[in-house]
Amino acid sequence: MDFVKPILLVGIGGAGSKMANNAASLVGADVFAISHDSNDLSSHHDIKIHAESYINPSAYLIRAEAQKAEQKIRDKFSNYKTIVVFANLAGKSGCAVSPMVATIAKEDGKHVLSIGIMPFRFEKERLFLSGVTLKRLRSSSDSTIVVDNDALLEANPDLTASKCYEITNHAVMYVINSLASSNISDNLNILSTSKNEKDIETSLRESIQMLYEDAPPKAIKKTMLYVFGTDNVSVGKINSVVNTITGVFNENNTGVSLATTQGDKSQVVMVSSVEGTLKFDSYDPLGVIPKENTLDWDVPESSIKTGIDLYQLE
């Protein structure tokens, strides 16, 4: 994917807005947030989705209210070439608004990178909607990076949920800070990393283990390998890591690129382009139905006021 300046970062929901604001300070890009919760918004540039009249509104209601702000969102995009969308797909605002935002940007001819955070597997009530949202987000983005905290937890069951968030959020910031010098595949990409910050070979093994929680080896087509903390890492070790990952993924089928940065902590982060059936496909039982055979695909589901005096359960 090409990152053409000027770039605008859009944070959706609580986690999305925090990540977008943190990323903006790193890359010097403009940023704004969208949410139905005022606590997620911190600037007059942000867009509030008004759903106050509902107690515990569903994602479908939030989406219906968000559609009223479509022109305002288009106006904010007008002076930018690339839109980067940060969304927590375990949250209501992220599921409700992110596909709409990506679609608006794509319709207006922007380059669109979306970064979606998937729920933990034990959050069973959130899996279906997150799976559907990811599918729609991918269809409206030039490139999508999936951050799966659940895979990190599966590979490291001793971690707390908050520690998983901390590790993966830092990994996303590493990648965003390196966008100008790296190349993200125009496809679905899985971000994987590790809890280890001492030895890059151990960090690599943990990153591969996390990746395999989401995608089988044959699904991996290309990997962008980020090695951080090269002040403490010898050239020989970096070469060994590259050779290891090339051998694991089969150099004839998987391309490996390398980006290095200086720093006092040593860690590996991988962004791997994948194809085929993934863990997230099981979140939506109807996901096996091709898009061309789905009647209502073009318009995401939303709850709207029809003016008819009928009780609506939300």
The per-residue pLDDT for 288 is: 67
pLDDT at 260 over 90: no
Averaged pLDDT for residues 12-22:
95
- Cβ atoms within 10 A of the Cβ of 147, count? 27
pLDDT at 149 over 70: yes
| Axis crossing angle, helix 13-27 with helix 161-177, rounded to the nearest 10 | 40
220-228 and 267-274: which strand pairing?
Answer: antiparallel
Distance CA 264, CA 198 (A): 10
Counting beta carbons within 10 angstroms of the beta carbon of residue 235, is it exposed (0 to 12), middle (13 to 18) or buried (19 or more)?
exposed
Sequential DSSP letters for 23-86 = HHHHHT-EEEEEESSGGG--STTSEE---TTSSS--HHHHHHHHGGGHHHHHHHHTT-SEEEEE
| Axis crossing angle, helix 200-214 with helix 235-249, rounded to the nearest 10 | 20
What letter represents residue 246's amino acid? T
Angle of CA points 150, 154, 155, to nearest 5° = 120
Q: At 72, list the tokens.
A: 């305002």
Q: At 261, list the tokens.
A: 């940065």
More confident residue, 143 or 254: 143
b (16+ CB within 10 A) / e for 205-223: bbbbbbbbbbbeeebbbbb
Q: Which of 194-198, 208-212, 259-263 has the highest mean pLDDT?
A: 208-212
pLDDT at 69 over 70: yes
Q: What is the pTM of this model?
A: 0.90
